[in-house]
């Protein structure tokens, strides 16, 4: 399982999403961060239908989302629970 985090400059909740992403990384979880300001981030965001920032999602080995939080910042523990389920 991988956590994908989509952020954008000027987003008021995005710094908190980055903090959660950092905590998950510290716990050994693979986290990929994307800026919706870059071509790569925008392409990835379009692929997953990201319409709000921050968006955080857990994807399985086939790149299919199994949990997603859009426009909100989940607690690190909530994301970990989604990975375990």
pLDDT over 90 (residue 85): no
Residue 17 has, within 13 A of its CA and on its CB side, a CA count of 28
Q: Tell me how many degrees the CA angle 73-83-20 measures, rounded to the nearest 5.
A: 30
The answer to whether 33 and 77 are in contact (CB under 8 A) is: no
Listed by start position, the domains of the chain span: 2-84
The answer to whether 51 and 63 are in contact (CB under 8 A) is: no
34-44 tens-digit pLDDT: 999 999 999 99
- Report residue 79: phi and psi, to 5°: -70, -40
The answer to whether 4 and 54 are in contact (CB under 8 A) is: no
Average pLDDT over residues 60-79: 94
pLDDT over 90 (residue 22): yes
Q: Can you say whether residue 55 is alpha, beta or left, with left for phi > 0 and alpha for psi between -120 and 50 degrees?
A: beta
Average pLDDT over residues 58-84: 94
pLDDT at position 84 is 86
Q: Which CATH class is domain 2-84?
A: alpha beta
Q: What is the reported pTM?
A: 0.93
Average pLDDT over residues 55-73: 95
């Amino acid at each position: 399982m991988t956590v994908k985090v989509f952020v954008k400059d000027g987003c008021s909740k995005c710094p908190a999403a980055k903090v959660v992403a950092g905590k998950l990384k510290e716990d050994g979880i693979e986290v990929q961060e994307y800026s919706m300001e870059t071509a790569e981030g925008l392409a990835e965001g379009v692929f997953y239908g990201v319409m709000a920032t921050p968006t955080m999602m857990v994807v399985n080995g086939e790149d299919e989302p199994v949990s997603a939080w859009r426009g909100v910042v989940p607690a690190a523990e909530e994301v970990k629970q989604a990975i375990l389920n």
